[in-house]
Structure 1
Amino acid sequence: MGHRKLASPRRGSAGVRPRKRASEILPTPRSWPTIQSNEPKLLGFVGYKVGMTHIFMIDDKPTSPNYGKEIYVPVSIVETPPVIPLAIRAYVMGPKGEPTTLTEYWADLSEDLLKLIQQRKVTRLKIDKERMKGKLEEINNKLNDILYLRVLVATQPKLVPSLGKKKPEIIEVQVGGGDIKAQLNYVLNILGKPLSVKDVFKEGQLIDIIGVTKGKGFQGVIKRYSVVELPRWHKHRKGSRKIGTRGPSFSTPSYVPQPGQMGFHRRTEYNKRIIKISDDPNEINPKGGFVNYGIVRNTFLIIEGSIIGAKKRPLFLRYPIRPNWIPQTAPKITYVNLYSQQG
């Protein structure tokens, strides 16, 4: 008859419920880190997932057993065309004790960009110079009451032909470092001008990646929760790819594994390291381009390890909110694989 298991571990995590489809393809952070810097800067950027390759580099993590040695590292490529800061949003404490928008100050934008922005319906404000002048004065007069400043930023997907889209994503990015006055001056200086990822991140540092995972559709409990398939000798069970008992209704678990949506969830990956930032696509493009993506044409990041999402998916890159170490320099790369990925 064989050995019969009487107990098994809990399957699945209650920490990621509900397991439903993400509400937006490019999520924005729900919280932001506080950075120790006298120079103000944006705390996030947007990139598009390209694919993976591998490199060899000199391990520079002091606590690593391979410290100082050449190691093989699988890496992910993220293409990061410049973004365009559009507007400032100032936040103050609201009457209910939570941050609320004080006002918005919009830059003087080109006709083409303005047309694309209006399709997104991100603001009801009429962008005219006289009205915006009053908005800026309001922000200056209430600097002492402002909790933080955020910038509305537009991506430029038209610079990545393989995406097949022109309409920009509009996202809100918090400003960190320095005081409010310095942050305001910094944002006023960058409004309406293309901003490179090099102005936000530096080589070697850690980042968090917020995005939507690959969608896998409606799946059963075996695949969705790694439930162990029932033994075949139980002929009376009416199928084996099911869960056994669901337990009494008053039992401790708040849920039981059930079939349903798997993938296309909003998730955050913490402490991914930027190995390199480069403007030269020839350093990374394999022969024939990346499968299901094409060739990289803009500034790109090489990120250690794998990252979430399907190819071409927009990802939000944020300063790390809980870094496990703070690299001082970028590692030395000794080899980058450029062989064709198509055999």
Structure 2
Amino acid sequence: MSGIIGKKIGMTSIYSADGRNVVCTLIEAGPCVVTQVKNEETDGYTAVQLAYGERKEKNTPKALKGHFSKAQTTPKMEVIEFRDFREEFEGQVELGNTINVGDVFKEEDFVDVIGKSKGKGFQGVVKRHNFGGVGQATHGQHNRLRAPGSVGGASYPARVFKGMRMAGRTGGDRVKITNLQVMKIIPEKNLILVSGSVPGSKNSTVIIEK
């Protein structure tokens, strides 16, 4: 599977070829540097490691400095591994090469986008799991409109089952959105527009896979 690392810029809309107004997410994808190429003989599997985003050298551990120096590149912020990079990139995925968005994707492709969803902190069951609350606002109910209700049995099972939907920390999870269409590519600015929304806030790192 081939892919590239990018940064979510924001959302916009464009007109498709058939005249529809399509809501899109604007992503700055690449350029990414090939920092390691793995193969069956030395690593047991084939993969390509890409790096994206600049990082201050003073904040980079020595081990990573040596790793990036092998690829003859500056320290990078994000390092992501892509398993089984497509065969047509065999000549491009050599150590130190640069991968641009136009090298991997073309318009009308369908891609998957992975990102970290927005964190919403500690939330109750109504917001977290779409509970409806206990009962109604009348008939003796008091401050129960957003309550979870009972969570366990009595003598049996005498405990709360694992996985019970309760209040807790919400968001901040790795989320994959599948089958988004590439609406437009602007290679000179390393920009790609994909239909629909992708997880994460503005300027957050996303992974685009094909």
1:46 aligns with 2:10: no
Distance 2:143 2:3 in 1: 52
Q: C-alpha separation between the residues in 2 aligned to 1:218 and 1:196?
A: 39
Q: Partner residue of 2:70?
A: none
The equivalent residue for 1:228 is 132
TM-score (normalizing by structure 2): 0.78
Segments of 5+ residues of structure 1 without an aligned counterpart are: 1-31, 33-42, 60-69, 93-101, 104-145, 159-165, 281-297, 320-343
Query: Shift in Å at residue 239 of structure 1?
Result: 3.3
Partner amino acid, structure 2, of 1:71: R
What's 1:288 paired with?
none
Identity of aligned residues (%): 29
Bigger Rg over Cα: 1
Give secondary structure in 2 for the equivalent of 1:52: strand
* Cα distance in 2 for residues equivalent to 1:76 and 1:229: 35
Partner of 2:65: none
Q: 1:194 to 1:187 in 2, by over 3 A?
A: closer
Whether the aligned pair in 1 keeps the contact of 2:111 and 2:179 (CA below 8 Å) is: yes
**Separation of aligned partners in 2, 1:167 and 1:218:** 33
Where does 1:116-265 land on structure 2 (aligned, <5 Å)?
Answer: 148-157=45-54, 167-178=76-87, 183=90, 186-188=92-94, 191-230=95-134, 231-235=136-140, 237-248=142-153, 250=157, 255-265=163-173
How far apart, CA to CA, are the structure 2 residues paired with 1:236 and 1:73? Answer: 46
- Go from structure 1 to structure 2 and tell me whether the alpha carbon gap of 1:267 and 1:204 turns closer, same or farther (over 3 Å shift): same
Equivalent AA in structure 1 for residue 151 of structure 2: R
CA contact (8 A) 1:44 1:174 kept: no
| 1:49 shift after superposition | 0.4
Size of the alignment, in residue pairs? Answer: 186
- In structure 1, what residue type is equivalent to 2:47? R
Mapped to 1, the partners of 2:92 and 2:28 lie a distance apart of: 25
Higher share in strand: 2
Structure 2, unmatched stretches of 5+, are: 56-74
Alignment RMSD: 2.6
Task: Give the C-alpha shift of residue 176 in structure 1.
Answer: 3.3
* Secondary structure of 1:77's aligned partner: strand
What do residues 197-240 of structure 1 show as CA deviations (whole Å, max 9, x unaligned)?
Answer: 11111111000111110111110111111111331224355533
Shift >6 Å, 4+ stretches: none
Counterpart secondary structure, 2:128: helix
TM-score relative to the length of structure 1: 0.49
